[in-house]
Chains A and B, each alone.
Chain A
Amino acid sequence: MHPFILERPTSLAAALAFRAQAGRNDAPAEYIAGGTDMIQLLQEDVRRPDRLVSLAGLLDRRIDVGPQGLRLGAAATMAEVAAHADVVRQYPLIAGALLDSASPQVRNQATMGGNLLQRTRCPYFRDVGYAACNKRNPGSGCSAIGGENRWNAVLGTSEACIAAHPSDLAVALVALDAVVIVRGASGERALPLDDLYRLPAEAPHIETVLQPGEVIAAITVPAGASGLRSHYVKVRDRASFEFAVVAAAVALRMDGARIGEARVALGGVGTKPWRVRQVETALAGSPLEPAVLRAAAARAAEGARGHGHNDFKIELMQRAIVRGIETAGEHA
């Protein structure tokens, strides 16, 4: 582990003032909240910050559910949000995605903001024994392309990177049109969570549009996402405590026996949480019939590209969408 100074500022302003390059992935300073991912990255020498700036106590952990929608303080833990009665009742997709994530111990420690900004599980990113990783060492190449890439993405990839985004929470939130409130030295700005993440393109080491010295302060979900019939489908190799092989977040507003409105996002398959609006369009007005659902889900494969070991994800993600719709539709 690279030696670092742990800064424990007493105000958010002070924390932001440490900005230096903090928030950017190639920075000499990094923020730490729950630390469930950061500690691993430090131990494995993947991240080598000179300063680790603690956000402990500087961001709120309130969970508010009201007529305006849902607001989650960035410091709320996964466990707190998953157990919140109003979240469970009105935004079960979020609670479900959280409970399908990690383990109880990790959920007690990990925060909302940290969850959204956790780094990829691409094993080549996490093993410094591989020299080539464009995310870790810009310009060094990609070991996953041509390597063992069952873990990697089939959507949003580039010649530089095929790393999958690991968060379940982010998939559910993107499906529900969540917005992140970003705090920086010059104040607050709001942006759709979907726009927070950048595609890898030529610069996979820059994963978000956060500017140096910006932090996620809160997440909001519009009230329109409340009360939808929803289901989070997570396919994985064991029953618990594992990142998704493929995941699908589905939320429906039924119009009689037909789907009035559908929200569908995918996890485990994209370089960012992957909203599939073309599937949603195809589903609008459709009955809950297998052949119809199957045809709509097939549109998720548009633009998908396998890299060998992960080719199966293109089929599996369509099945996960169908399962999600069927299950959500059953929940009258």
Chain B
Amino acid sequence: MTAPYMGKPISRVDGRLKVTGTANYAAEQDPPRLAFGAIVRSTIASGRIATIDTAAAAGASGVVTVLTHRNAPRYAGPPHKAMVDPERGEKLRVLQDDRITHQGQPVALVIANTLEEATHAATLVRVTYSAAPAITDIAHARAVLPTQQKTDQGERQSPVQQRGNPQGALAAAEVKVDHQYVIPRENNNPIELHATVAAWEGDRLTLWDKSQWVDNVALEMAAIFGVPPESVRVVSPFVGGAFGSALRTWAHVPLAAMGARVTRRPVKVMLSRREMYYGTGYRPHTTQRVALGASADGRLSAILHEDEQETSTYEEYTEAVLDATRFLHSCPNVYTRHRIKRLNVHTPTWMRGPGEASGVFALECAMDELAVALQLDPVELRLRNEPERDEYRKLPFSSRSTRECYRVATERFGWGRRNPEPRSMRDGRWLIGWGMATATYPSNWAPAAARARLLPDGSAEVSSAASDMGPGTWTSMTQVAAETLGLPMERVRFTLGDSRLPNTPPHGGSMTMASVGSAVQAACRKVRADALARGSEGNDLVAAMRRIGQPVEATVNATPGADAQKYSKHAFGGVFVEVAVDPDLGETRVRRVVGAYGVGRVMNPKLSRSQCIGGMIGGIGMALMEHAVVDPRNGRIPNANLAEYPVPVHADSPPVMDVIFVDEHDPHVNPLGVKGLGEIAIVGIASAVVNAVYHATGKRIRELPVTPDKLL
């Protein structure tokens, strides 16, 4: 046997490719005879195209063709629907008719020989519109109950949930807080822009795409173009960040394929940064009310949590904003109501920690406000309301390490030295504040398949359609495979990001390690057992393979067992933040973040720490900077760039980011005992920052981001 790899801080197996620029991303594919597509986008939010004049564009240098709703091919089949798509509504069918539902909707695709010719000709397309009244002012839009709601774990539930008598308990509570919290729209801003290269050979389509789920892209393209799914191949070995934006198949993907089909040439469509704000999703604006009631000794007696979230007119996007509220803290009387606002905008989508990042923000700010009202330490408040089981699902937790997370994080942070009085801690001119929050995210597991193939030379090839948008799938799967096979890592080659490989669920919802990892482990176990049985060399796999003299292969589909339904399965954490606030100029800088997490087995502490500090920095951006401004007059996003939409730069990253994984052995979540990490890493951070800002200044900011103007 080789040394164990699982749990070891192994560097990225694809690191060299990435730092030498030889890891090729979607936009870097240049097949022969490539043409370039540039999208013309609507400048109204609602109405119809009145006239569209493409003559100047068609006549411009290098232009191959211009597609509009007048001449574009019709979608062949019924719409494809996947678990990443909103349950209700129909996704955008581009260039199929003259209807406009939102700003930035594609109205034409210009295809030319060069990128420059395409983008120039796109500016020559003249479109006039018959504008219709548009709903673009979220402040004045009507909130309605969604038709239905599906949680991250696939459960259908009513948008209104209640246990006990929350209203009565709140009215009777000795201490209560009741406030509104607002999170503005935040845009997924991965460094790699979305891009697709499409090439047809007869009825066979190959797409190089930025994707977190190649299988889904393939199925959707097959449906749109009326070809068998096996005729579509989607390749996406490297993804330069996505945060959820590459889970769905956005309009530019079928546009590239449509352009390629019409021109009989490969077509590349790359979005600009500005286009990313109109075509690939965002965390929706939420307005949340949280009311908490408690006894004078700090026992929660009532939680009322209502939220309103923006969605488009054509799809009913919802996320599990309120799910954590129902079980994170113990409380007999809980009311949650989820509503949506249908606006003339494009559909929101999953952005890191979807649902929980928003809902836990409001809940954990409210918990801090309650702690202040009770004159109780915020950690102590949480300890007094630590549930013994999931009071919503009425199931035991598969594991829950919140107490241990608080213990180790407070110790590391030095929380015991905290003076609870606001404005009591200073460093020169700066006001210092310490705040904390609890974090949680569901441990998802979906069916996934993997193939393991042993070769006579004692090496192995392991593969799965999976994706790696940054967390390190390439590496962690190699670790699992090598350890399971009992081979050195350098003898195991793992491949991902190709729809021809065994199917996987989306690379999101923190389920890749659990789902794909379980499949890789099962496939490797099976192929090893098969080879050893055939090789008759005892436990010597290399000798067995030499003797067999030909490849041995196993493909296994790993599916969650019945055990999965017996537990409430979530990762938990405690995050602690130190901020410094300039009391005169209102600038807030985060100096320290300490996060302790109970996430089951940690497959690779090095990559996991990277994932967590990325989440912390993302949370700082959410707390202090990010705001996709939607112009209420017309639905445009004036700051659709990276200058006026700030995200943290290095100078904003705290000098201290401590990530602690508490020991947690969870035999119930999945065979690997992993709970997932990518999403929880951002959950709670923004609330901890806001709570720290309150501690520093005595000012409670309930609308993100906490910019200087709000602290004057």
Nearest Cβ in chain A — how far from B195, in angstroms? 16
Chain B residues positioned under 8 Å from A235 (CB to CB):
585-587, 708
In the complex, whether B380 has a CB less than 8 A from a CB of chain A is no
Nearest Cβ in chain A — how far from B272, in angstroms? 8
Q: Mark B634-649, 1 if CB is under 8 A from A, else 0.
A: 0010111101101111
Determine if B638 and A240 form an interchain contact, defined as CB atoms under 8 angstroms apart: no
Chain B residues positioned under 8 Å from A289 (CB to CB):
none
Determine if B103 and A129 form an interchain contact, defined as CB atoms under 8 angstroms apart: yes
Q: Mark B98-135, 1 if CB is under 8 A from A, else 0.
A: 00000110000000000010011001000000000000
Nearest Cβ in chain B — how far from A242, in angstroms? 6
How many angstroms between the C-alpha atoms of A103 and B650 in the bound complex?
A: 11
Q: Kindly identify which residue among A45, A130, A243, A245 contacts B643, using a CB–CB cutoff of 8 Å.
A: A243
How many angstroms between the C-alpha atoms of A103 and B589 in the bound complex?
A: 19
Within A126-141, the residues touching B (CB, 8 Å) are: 126-127, 129-131
Determine if A315 and B633 form an interchain contact, defined as CB atoms under 8 angstroms apart: no
The residue on B at minimum CB distance from A126 is B641
Determine if A238 and B625 form an interchain contact, defined as CB atoms under 8 angstroms apart: yes
Determine if B652 and A129 form an interchain contact, defined as CB atoms under 8 angstroms apart: no
Determine if B624 and A2 form an interchain contact, defined as CB atoms under 8 angstroms apart: no
With A2-B120, A127-B274, A147-B631: A316-B712 Cβ-Cβ less than 8 Å: yes
In the complex, whether A123 has a CB less than 8 A from a CB of chain B is yes
Chain B residues positioned under 8 Å from A146 (CB to CB):
633
Chain B residues positioned under 8 Å from A243 (CB to CB):
643
Nearest Cβ in chain A — how far from B421, in angstroms? 24
Bin the interface of chain B by size: 35 or more
The residue on A at minimum CB distance from B638 is A123
Q: Kindly identify which residue among B104, B589, B631 contacts A239, using a CB–CB cutoff of 8 Å.
A: B589
Chain B residues positioned under 8 Å from A312 (CB to CB):
708-709, 712
In the complex, whether A319 has a CB less than 8 A from a CB of chain B is yes
Determine if B649 and A241 form an interchain contact, defined as CB atoms under 8 angstroms apart: yes
Chain B residues positioned under 8 Å from A237 (CB to CB):
624-625, 646, 705, 707-708
In the complex, whether B629 has a CB less than 8 A from a CB of chain A is yes
How many angstroms between the C-alpha atoms of A123 and B630 in the bound complex?
A: 12
Chain B residues positioned under 8 Å from A245 (CB to CB):
707-709
Determine if B43 and A129 form an interchain contact, defined as CB atoms under 8 angstroms apart: yes
Nearest Cβ in chain A — how far from B531, in angstroms? 53
Determine if A239 and B651 form an interchain contact, defined as CB atoms under 8 angstroms apart: yes
Determine if A3 and B120 form an interchain contact, defined as CB atoms under 8 angstroms apart: yes
Chain B residues positioned under 8 Å from A242 (CB to CB):
643, 646
Q: Mark B147-166, 1 if CB is under 8 A from A, else 0.
A: 00000000000000000000
In the complex, whether B411 has a CB less than 8 A from a CB of chain A is no
Determine if B650 and A124 form an interchain contact, defined as CB atoms under 8 angstroms apart: no
How many angstroms between the C-alpha atoms of A19 and B640 in the bound complex?
A: 34
In the complex, whether B206 has a CB less than 8 A from a CB of chain A is no
Determine if A148 and B629 form an interchain contact, defined as CB atoms under 8 angstroms apart: yes
In the complex, whether B584 has a CB less than 8 A from a CB of chain A is yes
Q: Mark A1-26, 1 if CB is under 8 A from B, else 0.
A: 11100000000000000000000000
The residue on B at minimum CB distance from A243 is B643
In the complex, whether B61 has a CB less than 8 A from a CB of chain A is yes
Chain A residues positioned under 8 Å from B639 (CB to CB):
123, 148, 151
In the complex, whether A112 has a CB less than 8 A from a CB of chain B is no
Chain B residues positioned under 8 Å from A2 (CB to CB):
120, 123
How many angstroms between the C-alpha atoms of A32 and B646 in the bound complex?
A: 27
The residue on B at minimum CB distance from A130 is B636
The residue on B at minimum CB distance from A245 is B708
How many angstroms between the C-alpha atoms of A130 and B584 in the bound complex?
A: 36
How many angstroms between the C-alpha atoms of A45 and B123 in the bound complex?
A: 8
In the complex, whether A320 has a CB less than 8 A from a CB of chain B is yes
Nearest Cβ in chain A — how far from B690, in angstroms? 15
Bin the interface of chain A by size: 35 or more
How many angstroms between the C-alpha atoms of A242 and B690 in the bound complex?
A: 22
The residue on A at minimum CB distance from B644 is A123
The residue on B at minimum CB distance from A125 is B638
With A3-B120, A312-B709: A239-B644 Cβ-Cβ less than 8 Å: no
Determine if B648 and A238 form an interchain contact, defined as CB atoms under 8 angstroms apart: yes
In the complex, whether A121 has a CB less than 8 A from a CB of chain B is yes
Greatest chain B CB density within 10 A among A2, A126, A147, A238 is at A238
How many angstroms between the C-alpha atoms of A97 and B103 in the bound complex?
A: 38
Determine if B120 and A1 form an interchain contact, defined as CB atoms under 8 angstroms apart: yes
Determine if B652 and A3 form an interchain contact, defined as CB atoms under 8 angstroms apart: no
How many angstroms between the C-alpha atoms of A130 and B633 in the bound complex?
A: 11
Q: Mark B610-629, 1 if CB is under 8 A from A, else 0.
A: 00000000000000110001
With A1-B120, A44-B274, A124-B638: A240-B585 Cβ-Cβ less than 8 Å: no
How many angstroms between the C-alpha atoms of A124 and B637 in the bound complex?
A: 10
How many angstroms between the C-alpha atoms of A312 and B272 in the bound complex?
A: 33
Chain A residues positioned under 8 Å from B641 (CB to CB):
123, 126
The residue on B at minimum CB distance from A315 is B712
Determine if B640 and A127 form an interchain contact, defined as CB atoms under 8 angstroms apart: yes
How many angstroms between the C-alpha atoms of A242 and B123 in the bound complex?
A: 29
Chain B residues positioned under 8 Å from A322 (CB to CB):
584
Chain A residues positioned under 8 Å from B589 (CB to CB):
239
How many angstroms between the C-alpha atoms of A52 and B638 in the bound complex?
A: 27
How many angstroms between the C-alpha atoms of A147 and B624 in the bound complex?
A: 22
Chain B residues positioned under 8 Å from A319 (CB to CB):
584-585, 712
Chain B residues positioned under 8 Å from A147 (CB to CB):
631, 633, 638
How many angstroms between the C-alpha atoms of A124 and B61 in the bound complex?
A: 30
Determine if A316 and B709 form an interchain contact, defined as CB atoms under 8 angstroms apart: yes
Chain B residues positioned under 8 Å from A1 (CB to CB):
116, 119-120, 123
Determine if A240 and B650 form an interchain contact, defined as CB atoms under 8 angstroms apart: yes
How many angstroms between the C-alpha atoms of A322 and B103 in the bound complex?
A: 43
How many angstroms between the C-alpha atoms of A290 and B116 in the bound complex?
A: 57
Determine if B649 and A238 form an interchain contact, defined as CB atoms under 8 angstroms apart: yes
Q: Kindly identify which residue among B43, B585, B629 contacts A323, using a CB–CB cutoff of 8 Å.
A: B585
Within B266-285, the residues touching A (CB, 8 Å) are: 272, 274
How many angstroms between the C-alpha atoms of A241 and B625 in the bound complex?
A: 13
Chain B residues positioned under 8 Å from A130 (CB to CB):
636, 638
Chain A residues positioned under 8 Å from B625 (CB to CB):
237-238
Within A308-332, the residues touching B (CB, 8 Å) are: 312, 315-316, 319-320, 322-323
Nearest Cβ in chain A — how far from B637, in angstroms? 8
Determine if B649 and A3 form an interchain contact, defined as CB atoms under 8 angstroms apart: no
The residue on B at minimum CB distance from A319 is B584
Within A215-268, the residues touching B (CB, 8 Å) are: 233, 235-243, 245
Chain B residues positioned under 8 Å from A239 (CB to CB):
589, 649, 651-652
The residue on B at minimum CB distance from A124 is B638
How many angstroms between the C-alpha atoms of A239 and B709 in the bound complex?
A: 15
Nearest Cβ in chain B — how far from A258, in angstroms? 23
Greatest chain A CB density within 10 A among B643, B646, B652 is at B643
The residue on A at minimum CB distance from B103 is A129
How many angstroms between the C-alpha atoms of A268 and B539 in the bound complex?
A: 72
Determine if A121 and B274 form an interchain contact, defined as CB atoms under 8 angstroms apart: no
How many angstroms between the C-alpha atoms of A147 and B637 in the bound complex?
A: 11
How many angstroms between the C-alpha atoms of A237 and B649 in the bound complex?
A: 11
Determine if A240 and B584 form an interchain contact, defined as CB atoms under 8 angstroms apart: no
Nearest Cβ in chain B — how far from A2, in angstroms? 6
Chain B residues positioned under 8 Å from A123 (CB to CB):
638-639, 641, 644
What 4 A-B pairs come out closest when comparing CB atoms? A123-B638, A239-B651, A240-B651, A312-B709
Write 13 A-B pairs (CB below 8 A) sorted by A numbering: A1-B120, A2-B123, A3-B61, A3-B120, A130-B638, A143-B638, A151-B639, A235-B586, A237-B625, A238-B646, A238-B647, A238-B651, A312-B708
Beyond known contacts A129-B43, A236-B587: 8 more, CB 8 A cutoff = A235-B708, A237-B707, A239-B649, A239-B651, A240-B649, A240-B650, A316-B709, A319-B712
